[in-house]
Chain A
Amino acid sequence: MSTEGGATGYIVHHLTPLSVGEGFWTLHLDTLFFSALLGGLFILFFKTVAERATSGVPGLAQNIAETLVEFVDTQVKDSFHGRSPLIAPLSLTIFCWVFMWNAMDMLPVDLLPMIGSLMGMEYMRVVPSTDLNGTFALSISVFFLIFFYSIKVKGLMGFAKEMTCTPFGPKMMPFNLLLKTVEELAKPISLGLRLFGNLYAGELVFILIALLPPIVQPLLGFPWAVFHILVITLQAFIFMVLTIVYLSLAHEDH
């Protein structure tokens, strides 16, 4: 535990990303690295299973993958009534990736940063979902998809009509447009901020617990970790379900 600069210094140190570049062109290397690493693990696992997928008796790995796939598929079929080759795989990717991001939270707060500092990296933030860039990357991608499917399904005119003529009819066009714009923009913002806020707060609590005397740490750290198992799963699930819901709304023609 590096406590130079006191508690505040410790917390700030933990929440500062490893970055290169200036201004907008700053890159958070830790976020990019860990999310890519976890994405790679996700791909590796599912690709291995998919290659060996058999309709006979499944092995352990296939069972896990199938459980996830069926779980996601059920969610998609429950809320989305169209046919789309994208939505189900998209949801699976979101659920697994976000879950793995969040699960990084369960590692001891000092473990990876310590290894990093031994390798000469001054800062390290291991949970990609505590980086707004990470969560917004997902939610903005989803936003683009919503936009894309809205126009694809309803047509450009249909989409324009929905943006301007609902909910109050054509007479209130400017007001409607304002309202709908806010509504549409609220989707990616709330989606990204919700995940970020939950995980950032969770990580912060872990950091605070790490500041307590060693005897007290397990007393608080253990229940919080157990509680966090629920939080990380729930947040991944919420992100996935909302994505499905938003996309199915985009597919609906009024």
Chain B
Amino acid sequence: MSINATLIGQMITFTLLVWFTMKYVWPPIIAALEERKTKISEGLAAAEKGQEEIKLAEKKAKGLLKEAKEQSAEIVSAAQKRANQLVEESKDQAKKEGERLLEAAKAQIEQEMLQAKESLRKEVSSLALRAAEQILKEEIDKAKHQDILSKAADQLG
């Protein structure tokens, strides 16, 4: 067991190995590792960002949905109001129309009644005159008895 020149040979080999590792082995492997690390952390960050965006979009969608609901409710209530209004209006109109028709009918009835009265009076007065002529069988001086006649006609009317 002796120390000899083998030691020097081994040291040279060792130096060469270390030099080679330092120059050609270590840097590329470490670089690949670092790059992968960066890639992974970037991927994770992107995933997180994506999730954040999804949350944001969901919030936005909820807001929009709420707004749309409110709008539709508004529209429905407006439509109901309008419908009620229309019904009210048509009711009013119908009522007015009915009243108008009733009024017209009443007026006509009145007029017809007046006409009937008039013609009835005329007929009655002429009938009374003829009856009186028949009864008296005499000529009545129309001018002489005009007063009496018109009095009678008035009483009849």
Q: Which residues of A contact B (CB under 8 A)?
A: 19, 21, 23-28, 31-32, 35-36, 39, 42-43, 46-47, 49-51, 53-56, 58, 62, 65-66, 69-70, 73, 85-86, 88-90, 92-93, 97, 128, 131-134, 136-138, 140-141
Contacts and interface: CB of A to CB of B under 8 A. Distances in A.
A53 to B, nearest CB: 4
B155 interface: no
B6 A131 contact: yes
A53 B32 contact: yes
The secondary structure that dominates the B interface is: helix
A27 B20 contact: no
B1 A86 contact: no
Given A73-B30, A93-B18, A140 B7 contact: yes
A186 B84 CA distance: 107
Interface residues of B, number: 34
24 contacts: A24-B5, A25-B5, A26-B5, A31-B10, A32-B13, A39-B13, A42-B17, A46-B21, A47-B24, A49-B25, A49-B29, A50-B24, A50-B26, A62-B32, A66-B33, A73-B30, A86-B18, A89-B18, A92-B21, A92-B25, A93-B21, A97-B17, A138-B14, A141-B14
Contacts of B6: 19, 26-28, 31-32, 131, 133-134, 137
Given A55-B39, A89-B18, A93-B17, A46 B25 contact: yes
Interface of B: 1-11, 13-18, 20-22, 24-33, 35-36, 38-39
A89 B32 contact: no
A137 B7 CA distance: 5
B8 to A, nearest CB: 8
